[in-house]
Amino acid sequence: MTNRTDLLRVDGLTLHYGPIAALHEVALAVKAGGELVALIGANGAGKSSFLRVISGLHRQSAGRITFNGRDITFAASHLRVAMGICQVPEGRQIFSPLTVLDNIRLGAYRRKNSELDTDLKKLWKMFPILEEKKHLLAGGLSGGQQQMLAMARALLGRPQLLLLDEPSMGLAPLLVAEIFGIIKNLRENGTSIILVEQNATQALRLADRAHLIETGRIVLSGSGQDLLHDKRVQAAYLGGE
């Protein structure tokens, strides 16, 4: 049954890498208009694999994906981007020898120039440091600035659903706070988000709903608060906080 307010719905999603199953019958939903769903779990649990199936970079071996009520289970990844599913990959994957501005423009190859100018103005407001450095090479940015750049590039695709893969990875605490502040803003402005994080505390604090994934299976689901207060999550994933 597709609930009308569900933006994304995933049922029975199973993924194999050769003979190895990396995802087992994963089911979850994300509501339209700014729901934040956190996916937490240890290294190797299948979080990135899940996001890559949603963006169409990996093909599931079973299951169904619907977006805005449309079945996109077998849709090509560029069509999913055009529909409004944009992923910020793990490790940022920016193009170091290109300028900041050229990196951002890569996220806007479908945009008219007039639209691009409007969107860029919004982006500079959100990421003033990127405007300051727009003509510098992306490879010279700090880790936090590279994360902002990767997010800015995805936002130029005007996503309805933003897939964030470990945005806080490797960042100093102050920058982690800044990145989470930006995520909160995006959500408040109506962008729905799947946030994958190994560092679970902040993700759960922000999340409307959350799922714990262990070796490719969702083993616990609830509100962000539910998972924050779960003894098992606290012991294994919250680092004693």
Ligand X SMILES: Nc1ncnc2c1ncn2[C@@H]1O[C@H](COP(=O)(O)OP(=O)(O)O)[C@@H](O)[C@H]1O
Q: Which residues bind ligand X (CB under 6 A)?
A: 17, 22, 41, 43-49
Least distance from C-beta 131 to ligand X, angstroms? 32
Task: Compose the 89-108 pattern: x for residues touching Mg ion by CB under 5 A, - for all others.
Answer: -x------------------
Q: Is 73 in the site for Mg ion (CB under 5 A)?
A: no
DSSP-derived 3-state class of residue 77: helix
Three-state SS string over 209-228 comes to EEEEEECCEEEEEEEHHHHH
Q: Is 87 in the site for Mg ion (CB under 5 A)?
A: no
The C-alpha atoms of residue 28 and residue 13 are separated, in whole angstroms, by: 9
Angle between helices 143-155 and 173-188 (to 10 degrees): 10
The C-alpha atoms of residue 12 and residue 27 are separated, in whole angstroms, by: 6
Q: Which residues of 73-110 are buried (b: 16+ CB within 10 A; e: fewer)?
A: bebeeeebbebbbbbbbbebebeeeebbbebbbebbee
Least distance from C-beta 44 to ligand X, angstroms? 4
Least distance from C-beta 197 to ligand X, angstroms? 10
CB 202 within 8 A of CB 180: yes
Binding site partner of 41, from Mg ion, ligand X, none, Cβ cut-off 5-8 A by kind: ligand X
Q: Is 48 in the site for Mg ion (CB under 5 A)?
A: yes
Binding site partner of 45, from ligand X, Mg ion, none, Cβ cut-off 5-8 A by kind: ligand X
The C-alpha atoms of residue 78 and residue 148 are separated, in whole angstroms, by: 22
Least distance from C-beta 214 to Mg ion, angstroms? 14
Other CB atoms within 10 Å distance of the CB of residue 25: 14
143 token code pair:
């880790």
Least distance from C-beta 165 to Mg ion, angstroms? 6
Binding site partner of 46, from ligand X, Mg ion, none, Cβ cut-off 5-8 A by kind: ligand X
How far is C-alpha 162 from the geometric centre of its chain's CA atoms?
5
Closest CB to ligand X among 44 and 181?
44
The window from 13-21, 40-48, 116-124, 183-191 that contacts Mg ion (CB under 5 A) reads: 40-48
Task: Compose the 201-220 pattern: x for residues touching Mg ion by CB under 5 A, - for all others.
Answer: --------------------
Binding site partner of 103, from ligand X, Mg ion, none, Cβ cut-off 5-8 A by kind: none
Least distance from C-beta 170 to Mg ion, angstroms? 13
Closest CB to ligand X among 44 and 143?
44
101 token code pair:
């501005």
Question: Which residues would be at the binding site for Mg ion (CB under 5 A)?
Answer: 47-48, 90
